[in-house]
Chains A and B, each alone.
Chain A
Amino acid sequence: MDRLGVSALDGPSMLQTQPSELPGSTPGELPSFAEAAGDGLAERLASLCSERVYNLSEPVVYFPVRHHSPVCSHHLLRVMRAYRPEIVLIEGPEGASELIPVLADEATEPPVSLYCTYESDEEKAAWYYPLLSCSPEYTALKEAAARQIPCSFIDLDYRPRPGAMEEVSASLQDEKLLTSSDFMAELCRRMNCRSFEELWEKVFEIGGLSAQTDAFVRDVFTYCTLSRMCYSEQRLRREGELDREANMRLHIRQAREQYGRVLVVTGGFHTYGLLDPEPEGPWQAVRDSDIADAASPKEAPNEDDTPAPGTDPPMRKTDGGEDTVTPEAERSEQAESGKASPGEQTYSGKPSTSLPECSPGRIGKRQHYPMIYTFEEADRLNGYASGMPYVSYYDELWAELRRGRRSPYARVSQRLLARLTREMRKQNEPVSTSDAIEAYSMLQGLTALRGKREGGVYELMDAVLACFVKGEFTLATDAPLRRLRALLTGDKIGRVADSGWVVPIVEDVKRRAATARLELRATGKRKRTLDLYAKPRHRAVSQLLHCLSYLVPDFAKRESGPDWVSGRHMNLVRETWSYAYSARVEARLIEQSLYGGTLHEAAVRKLEETAAELPDHHSGELAELLLQALLMGLQETADQLYALVKAALRKDAHFLSLCRTLHALDRLHQHGRLLGLRPDEALPALLDEAYGRAVDQLPAIARAAPELHDEMIQGLKLLIMLAPARPEHGLEERFAALLDDRELAPRLEGVCLVLAIKQGWRLRRELVTRANGYIRGTPEQVAKIAIYLQGVFVAGRDVFLYDDELLSEVDALISELPHDSFVEMAADLRLAFTFFTPGEKALIAGRVARRFGVRESELDRPAVDERLLLRAEALDQAIRREFAAWNLT
């Protein structure tokens, strides 16, 4: 009985099931399903497997796998021992074969990945090729290294993505065709499995553990091939699967010429397509329609199965062995046979240059890098479809398998239950050891009920759901399950051995992060609070984080702290950062490597490029870049930027841009020492120059667009603030000229006037005079009074708050307004008062109340409802009429 749960004892009809082993299914169900698709299909697939796929006496042995499957790895090791291959060929990007020694290095710790980029004029794309400890691909290349035999990747570097121009990242191990086929859906239903994943675990990961290797290979091959047969050739071609297989076949053929025993490790979905020459027989023609229409088995179509006009004809050999090829297929066929290139190369394990492009025009730059990967990103359930889910669980299982332990699933489950209990308790959840014990016995009960040899991840989840969740299962009570999911996925980040292949910038970042004690070895968001000014060591960490987040915006985020660039929260002295490392961050870093070999180099180059791209009169943006450079601790670049800012100032004639420059320079001048910057002698002169330039541009603001007013008001305030130290620039005259400008926008007029009054340049009375000018003007002018007041309030709230004279003037002004004008401008007036805080508004209201002799407490009374007033008025008139009728007065 030492066989897979789903396979029968009697030879090739593997799809026959044992009722005792397969709850809910009956003998004969599955065979009828397979038979409907083709007469004796399962038997023939099985014999095909034992003859051509897994036949250790053949020069080529194909080992079908599922990505990240520990039990596939387990059997693969056995195969490598039994077959003693001379070369191992692995489904992986052929261009990255050179990187295999790095991946197989002792110091490399999975999860790691290859990062493959492709860039052409039309398209930019990137793929990951992740490897976990339990991945069969990783096992194969480690074992090949241990046996000192060559090992090579044989898949294409490129995946077609029709119509994609934007940059996307995907996995090279996409399995959606395998997992979503109709065949699998039907199988899940019949075997009481809720998903393909559960089915796979039940049959292959748990059942397969105790199977003989040949039976295991046969089962994987049969299942994957049946699944493959649910797709038409057109579909496979469209998805690019056939091109990839053609490429792999070519590699295998080349290897066969040179080596006596070739082991091919690929996804099970492809194994059938790799057999060379292509197997003949009626199963070739199984299509989706045949499976769907399973009730009426069709006779095997081959030559008759001419494809519909307009579709790609399949590349298939007829019974006569002659090729019926179309021009499209011909090219591929020629490529496969290798005859196309007269100067045929011997197989060297390196990507052959004679390989044709699989479709014309796909010539672009391809690069491959070894990099770390994370469990979080490797977990299929997190949205990056590739391989098995719950990677940490299966990784631990693989560790148990490697130690040769009995009942590996039980051990992993026990450990996880204990860990879950501990973690839940740490979070003060009411969880007891008794829950864990109950859960374990539930796990065993479910295992027996579902006819599994050992309880896997699904039994573990069910057990935790039943025994840890108290009360109704809702969002509020699902913490145990959420926690368990996190444990099943894991938070590990891998490590890539030091080698010439590791991208220098990545190494540099890791070295710096280690010094700064940033955690880059586990996933998950982490926080770090830095005493920015008091501790130079913390400032260095801040500079590193600034630098990193400048290059890779996803990595770190400043949650709070002084923002030097925008000038906000400058009163804070601590910075809080959150950061999370992931393969995606590393990939972005690798992309940044074109800027330089170290973090600083890259940041400097990127800054320089950004600066060069700015028009040379945008001094404001340059000054902000300068601030950024200083925050990153790049003093030398900053020195160059000073020069650029200085040059730009002379060309800059834009008031707002000049104000931004002034802001930035002033901030540096005032607080630069907080950042530990050495005092720059050139800075005061530069600041002075910026000030002068800004003052010169003042007349231009009179006619600025209203949406720029807010920023201009800030600029005006800054100029006034800096004015006392710089009387020689004649700000007073400029203000006077501005105030005399009839075109000056009312809002700016209010601001300028208040600022001038504060400086003692103008008399307070002018505020009222100018307001009167609006009120007594034409109707259009009357409407502007509210906007003028907005300006007054925004610049002089203190004036208004404590000056009774101004208050009474404003009151008089408003009461003079005609009713209609008041209603019209009520909205703008209301807006004018929003510049005050609620406390200030209360203060003003109190003063207004006192003016009219009303007690302040009266103000808190709710307003009388308008309808009530109307009713009272009507009532009043009615009573009056009554009184009049009765001659009462």
Chain B
Amino acid sequence: MQETIKPPAEVLYEKQLKALREEDTGSRPPHWLLSPRSVRDFIIGREQPALLEGREIAITRKFYGNDVLIERAIVTLAGNRGLMLVGEPGTAKTMLSELLSAAISGTSLNTVQGTAGTTEDMIKYSWNYAMLLDQGPSEAALVPSPLYHGMKHGVLTRFEEITRCPAEVQDSLISILSDKVMSIPELEGGVLFAKPGFNIIATANIHDKGVNEMSGALKRRFNFETIRPIANMTMEAEIIVSQSRTLLEHSGVEVEVDRGVVELLATTFMELRQGISREGYKLEMPQATLSTAEAVSVYVQSAMTSYYYEGGTIGLDRLVQNMLGTIAKENEKDLGILKSYFAKVVKARAGEDELWKALYEEKRWIG
């Protein structure tokens, strides 16, 4: 059992990062811990293991999908503009941003969490008011934000969910991104110049409800990379298996991940997301987000429920119950869509496949 629920990427992949750092002889941008090529290898994995203290450390693939996108993202971070990762919820934008920061700056914790309540203070800096009143404005009284920290030490700053912040707060990034300088008028000569190695990785959901539009000026200071949901069932199943295994292990649930059930789940999610069944029939698409991350959560929830209440491996009744909670959470219509999916697609497959038949038998849970 480990100490933290979700250790940061730099802890989780400590050995791989260390091994890569040791073997890396390529040229690095200032203050980068790895060369761009090693950063790429770290994220998309490679066949040849790295050596650490005489032991072979496998460099595993951590991000599935568009490898060329990773290359562009790395080069963007070494350049003048910020990196903006956009895409539907659950497409591993945050994970990618963590991996990039962990590989490049050695930490993925230098993060601003964007919310509707984020203010400019939280982005730039605020004050320790007791000290401020006592001593007047001084550097010691200044409470640095992650962005301030990033500029000062030349490390990457992650900005999560930037479009959740009000537009005027977002815009405080404009001058920082273009001039790489933050002025602190309260201090005498208060100017913070960004050290080389500083850059921003922002993530944004574009389809979510309640997001703010980004100004053109801010858009111009970012290079955009669009991350798409995985379109390959086998690959998605692979991710669900590996992530579920990790999550279940961390929760102390000692059950094997059932590959058949995972494939069933991945197929269902992918078909509903893409609006087409593998036989080529058109399907209605639910409004709810059906990302790989959601599928992992459905699997883990179901496995845990079965483990604790039935004391066994994952049951399809639990799977259907959790599926219902995920797919039909936005509105009533989505429930209808799930029902007709069972009535058409699942029923048709029930005749040919035992597992699908078992799934169809649990349709009572969705009414």
Binding site for B on A (CB under 8 A): 19-20, 23-24, 26, 29, 192, 194, 430, 432, 434-435, 438, 441-442, 445-446, 448-451, 462, 465-467, 469-474
Contacts and interface: CB of A to CB of B under 8 A. Distances in A.
A445 B36 contact: yes
Contact of A449 (B36, B86, B220, B226): B36
A110 to B, nearest CB: 32
A711 B216 CA distance: 60
B86 A438 contact: no
Contacts of B86: 471-472
Contacts of A434: 220
B206 interface: yes
B81 to A, nearest CB: 6
B282 interface: no
B79 A23 contact: no
28 contacts: A19-B48, A23-B37, A23-B40, A24-B46, A26-B46, A26-B48, A29-B47, A194-B68, A435-B220, A438-B79, A438-B80, A438-B81, A442-B72, A442-B75, A442-B79, A445-B75, A446-B75, A448-B36, A449-B71, A449-B74, A465-B72, A466-B72, A467-B81, A467-B223, A470-B216, A470-B219, A471-B214, A472-B226
Interface in B215-239: 216, 219-220, 223-226
Contacts of B214: 471
B1 to A, nearest CB: 37
B20 to A, nearest CB: 13
B72 A462 contact: yes
A24 B41 contact: yes
Interface string B19-46: 0000000100000000011001100001
Contact of B80 (A194, A441, A466, A473): A441
Interface of B: 26, 36-37, 40-41, 46-48, 67-68, 71-72, 74-76, 78-81, 86-87, 206, 214, 216, 219-220, 223-226
Contacts of B81: 438, 467
A470 B75 contact: no
A202 to B, nearest CB: 13
Contacts of A469: 224
Contacts of B76: 442, 466
A472 B80 contact: no
B220 A432 contact: yes
A473 B86 CA distance: 9
B87 A472 contact: yes
B82 to A, nearest CB: 11
Given A449-B74, A466-B225, A472-B226, 8 more contacts: A20-B26, A24-B46, A26-B47, A438-B223, A445-B78, A448-B36, A471-B224, A473-B226
- Give the interface centre of A29, A441, A445 by most chain B CB atoms within 10 Å: A445
Nearest to B72: A466
Contacts of B216: 430, 470
Contacts of A445: 36, 75, 78-79
Contacts of A19: 48
A451 B214 CA distance: 35
Given A466-B223, A467-B223, A473-B226, A449 B37 contact: yes
A470 B40 contact: no
Contacts of B36: 445, 448-449
B76 to A, nearest CB: 6
Contacts of B40: 23, 449
Contact of B71 (A20, A430, A462): A462
CB-CB nearest 4 A-B residue pairs? A445-B75, A473-B226, A26-B48, A466-B223
A438 B76 CA distance: 9
A23 B48 CA distance: 11
B224 A470 contact: yes
A450 B48 contact: no
Contact of A441 (B68, B79, B225): B79
A710 to B, nearest CB: 39
B224 A472 contact: yes
A112 B224 CA distance: 41
B178 to A, nearest CB: 9
A73 to B, nearest CB: 29
B97 to A, nearest CB: 16
Contacts of A471: 86, 206, 214, 219, 224
A867 B76 CA distance: 66
Contacts of B225: 466
Contacts of B206: 471-472
Contacts of A20: 26
Contacts of B223: 438, 442, 466-467
A438 B219 CA distance: 14
Contacts of A465: 72
- Give the interface centre of B68, B86, B219, B226 by most chain A CB atoms within 10 Å: B68
A31 to B, nearest CB: 15
- Give the interface centre of A19, A23, A462 by most chain B CB atoms within 10 Å: A23
Nearest to A448: B36
Nearest to A432: B220
A555 B81 CA distance: 47
Contacts of B219: 470-471
B73 to A, nearest CB: 8
B79 A473 contact: no
B15 to A, nearest CB: 20
- Give the interface centre of A194, A446, A450, A471 by most chain B CB atoms within 10 Å: A471
Nearest to A463: B72
Nearest to A198: B68
A824 B81 CA distance: 74
A1 B46 CA distance: 25
Contacts of A194: 68
Nearest to A437: B80
A597 B224 CA distance: 58
Contacts of A446: 71-72, 75
Contacts of A23: 37, 40-41
Nearest to B222: A470
A740 B36 CA distance: 96
Contacts of A474: 226
Contacts of A450: 71
B47 A449 contact: no
Contacts of A432: 220
Nearest to A28: B48
A465 B226 CA distance: 10
Nearest to B49: A26
B78 A470 contact: no
Nearest to B25: A20
Nearest to B40: A449
Contacts of A451: 37
Contacts of A24: 41, 46
Contacts of A449: 36-37, 40, 71, 74-75
Contacts of B74: 449
A425 to B, nearest CB: 14
A434 B75 CA distance: 16
B224 A466 contact: yes
A462 B76 CA distance: 11
A358 to B, nearest CB: 43
Contacts of B220: 430, 432, 434-435, 470
A685 to B, nearest CB: 65
A451 B27 CA distance: 12
- Give the interface centre of B26, B72, B74, B216 by most chain A CB atoms within 10 Å: B72
A26 B50 CA distance: 12
Contacts of B87: 472
- Give the interface centre of A192, A430, A441, A472 by most chain B CB atoms within 10 Å: A472
Nearest to B206: A472
Contacts of B224: 466, 469-473
A445 B80 CA distance: 12
Contacts of B48: 19, 26
B25 to A, nearest CB: 8
Contacts of B67: 192
B224 to A, nearest CB: 6
B327 to A, nearest CB: 24
- Give the interface centre of A20, A442, A466 by most chain B CB atoms within 10 Å: A466
